């Protein structure tokens, strides 16, 4: 079992970077400095860079509204960056794995148990950060995966085993065939029509029947596989929605906590 370490603090944005962001006077200036720190080329021309810049600029605005310190803001951005990397690591659906990874790393920064966890965030700050990521990133999880992962295309190549291959004619036999074709040009039109009818009747060979059967079975299997994948995606999405709904409910303290006992 791999034990996660609380290494998100100052992971991507160090203390000097956070001071530069803190000195910005408005949102536009903050976005320019943030694009430079994240190494984004030209967000106006690149869709991915524009989405990345929007993701982290809104995260910084949220941290300022919550009154996070510079170290807390750096850790929150690192958490979001690691979550995004886990999302786009594969084009397959991994929303549940990403959610478990995010919550485990998040709570490593909320409990003082060195070296496995540190109390960088308070309980209210942890809940606020978790709600923000769930309502922003996980709500648009499929969109991030669609934009940042390559499109997967499946190409099938079929090889038929046990079928007789077409034999090549030798050169001398081809010459004889050429002479025979010259002699057979004098055939009457009625005989030509009879020959075409006979050839049309002989067309459905073993190879064509086998290919039609394989094609039918392959389409059937692909249809069942597509239905199974859709059912799994639907079940996974329902489980995620139920988790999101439970997380959106207001946090309530257990009964008896925070109340003074009266004698």
Q: What integer pLDDT is reported at residue 133 of this predicted model?
A: 94
Least confident of 184-193, 199-208, 227-236: 184-193
* 176: number of Cβ within 10 Å: 11
* CA 158/CA 262 separation, integer angstroms: 81
Q: What is the pTM of this model?
A: 0.58
Q: What integer pLDDT is reported at residue 116 of this predicted model?
A: 59
* CA 78/CA 66 separation, integer angstroms: 17
Contact by Cβ (8 Å): 94, 86: yes
Q: What percent of the chain has pLDDT over 90?
A: 31
Q: What is the DSSP string of 85-121?
A: HHHTT-SS--HHHHHHHHHHHHHTTEEEETTTEEE-S
Q: What is the DSSP string of 54-66?
A: HHHHHHHHHHHHH
pLDDT digits (tens, 9 = 90+) for 88-145: 998 888 999 999 999 998 888 877 766 656 778 888 999 999 999 999 999 999 999 9
Confidence tier at 53 by pLDDT (50, 70, 90): very high
Q: What integer pLDDT is reported at residue 79 of this predicted model?
A: 92
Of 90, 92, 93, 68, nearest in space to 79 by CA = 68
Report long-range pairs for 159-162 (Cβ below 8 Å, ≥24 apart): 160/207, 160/210, 160/211
Tokens of 201: 């009747």
pLDDT at 186 > cutoff 80: no
Confidence tier at 2 by pLDDT (50, 70, 90): very low
pLDDT digits (tens, 9 = 90+) for 163-183: 665 554 455 555 555 555 545
Confidence tier at 80 by pLDDT (50, 70, 90): very high
Selected residue with higher pLDDT from 113 and 237: 237
């Amino acid at each position: 079992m791999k034990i996660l370490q609380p290494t998100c603090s100052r992971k991507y944005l160090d203390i000097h970077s956070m001071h530069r962001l803190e000195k910005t006077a408005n949102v536009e200036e903050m976005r320019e400095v943030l694009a430079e720190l994240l190494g984004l080329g030209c967000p106006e021309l690149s869709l991915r860079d524009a989405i990345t810049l929007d993701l982290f600029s809104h995260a910084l605005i949220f941290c300022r509204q919550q009154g996070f310190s510079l170290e807390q803001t750096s850790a929150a951005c690192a958490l979001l960056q690691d979550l995004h990397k886990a999302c786009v690591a594969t084009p397959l659906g991994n929303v549940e794995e990403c959610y478990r990874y995010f919550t485990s790393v998040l709570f490593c920064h909320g409990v003082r148990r060195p070296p496995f966890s540190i109390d960088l965030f308070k309980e209210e700050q942890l809940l606020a950060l978790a709600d923000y990521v769930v309502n922003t990133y996980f709500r648009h999880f499929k969109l991030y995966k669609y934009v940042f992962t390559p499109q997967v295309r499946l190409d099938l190549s079929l090889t038929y085993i046990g079928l007789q291959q077409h034999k090549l004619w030798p050169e001398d036999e081809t010459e004889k065939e050429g002479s025979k074709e010259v002699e057979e040009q004098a055939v009457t039109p009625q005989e030509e029509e009879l020959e075409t009818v006979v050839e049309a009747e002989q067309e459905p060979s073993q190879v064509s029947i086998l290919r039609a059967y394989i094609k039918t079975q392959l389409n059937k299997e692909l249809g069942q596989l597509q239905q199974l994948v859709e059912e799994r995606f639907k079940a996974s999405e329902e489980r995620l929605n139920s988790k999101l709904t439970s997380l959106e409910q207001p946090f309530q303290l257990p009964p008896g906590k925070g109340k003074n006992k009266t004698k």
